[in-house]
Structure 1
């Protein structure tokens, strides 16, 4: 039955002073379930492994994503054209940070009882992560797209490493330095 219709039936019962029957409908047809929340725990290296596993593909949209360090290189070289704010404020940061930098998301949200395990994690953009929030794929009417092949698309990781190695002054930026170190580990394995 339609969820709005469940609430409508309960409302009609309330209007007729039949509160016990209204709560019975809610408990039987639209019950709230308390969830035990798992703890989140992953490092940037662990996140990077998920990005590599998924081939730097946004598993919710199917679109390509980028190594987190490459856009910061653009912000260092082109601060006016490609602005960056450490808290990614929308009015001070290029939208590419939201659209193209990967993050990980719990397919089944932690807030609703999902587990913090690899097979419940997917790569997605910060934008899609924010949109999905704590909703299920069913509630969003989304589906999971297939993973990419890291040999075909590496999120510009190799190019990012090459640019940094060509201009090591970029390593004075801690964000770039952190993602460069992680990227180098990936390339050496």
Structure 2
């Protein structure tokens, strides 16, 4: 019996004042499984290590992603042509932030029983992360594609380092996320995670 058939039968039972039968039907055939889990926030440094591991490739689409501060520099340099909004308000923020800003996703969501460990985490775009949400891969039709090689595509980190070496004093580091990504990158360079 398909899930829709189970729900239709439950609705029929409710229509005929057979709520107990509807409860039994759902409990037996389409039971909700509660998951207890602890969520955590990864540091910018931990996230960046994942992006570097995956070669700044969206592991659901294979598309190239950019080091976050590269997008921010575009906004800094181009202003209203490439707008940024701190809360990513879609009407006020260039769509590139959704398409090319890397984030991480749990392949099997924590809320669905997945583990909070590197083997269950992939790099993806904000757009794909939002569309996958708390669903399993088989529920979305998505597949995992191979990660990239950081020596082939570094998300424009090399460009960023060069740009910042010449323009550091011109960029406002007052923005906490810009500053945090910059600090995370410096730590990755210091630890030779990226060269």
Instruction: Indicate whether the TM-score tops 0.5.
Output: yes
Q: In the alignment, what sits opposite 1:46? A: 46
Q: In the alignment, what sits opposite 2:157? A: 157
Residues 67-109 of structure 1 show CA distances to partners (whole Å, capped at 9, x for unaligned) of 0010111111110211111111111111111110101111122
Q: Number of aligned pairs?
A: 189
State the SS of the aligned residue for 1:122: strand
- RMSD over aligned CA atoms reads 1.7
Q: In the alignment, what sits opposite 1:172? A: 172
CA distance in 2, matches of 1:39, 1:84: 28
CA distance in 1, matches of 2:133, 2:102: 15
CA distance in 2, matches of 1:18, 1:8: 13
Instruction: Report the alpha carbon displacement of residue 62 of structure 1 after superposing the two structures with TM.
Output: 1.2
Q: In the alignment, what sits opposite 2:124? A: 124
Write the mapping of 1:37-186 to structure 2, written as runs, cut at 5 A.
Answer: 37-173=37-173, 174=175, 175-186=177-188
CA distance in 1, matches of 2:15, 2:83: 56
Instruction: Report the alpha carbon displacement of residue 143 of structure 1 after superposing the two structures with TM.
Output: 1.2
CA distance in 1, matches of 2:83, 2:10: 52
TM score, norm. by length of structure 2: 0.88
CA distance in 1, matches of 2:23, 2:68: 49
| 8 A contact 2:59–2:144 mirrored in 1 | yes
Instruction: Report the alpha carbon displacement of residue 110 of structure 1 after superposing the two structures with TM.
Output: 2.2
Instruction: Report the alpha carbon displacement of residue 58 of structure 1 after superposing the two structures with TM.
Output: 0.7
Change (3 A) 1:41 1:87: closer
Runs of 5+ in structure 1 lacking a partner?
A: none
Instruction: Report the alpha carbon displacement of residue 154 of structure 1 after superposing the two structures with TM.
Output: 0.6
State the SS of the aligned residue for 1:74: helix
| 8 A contact 1:170–1:176 mirrored in 2 | no
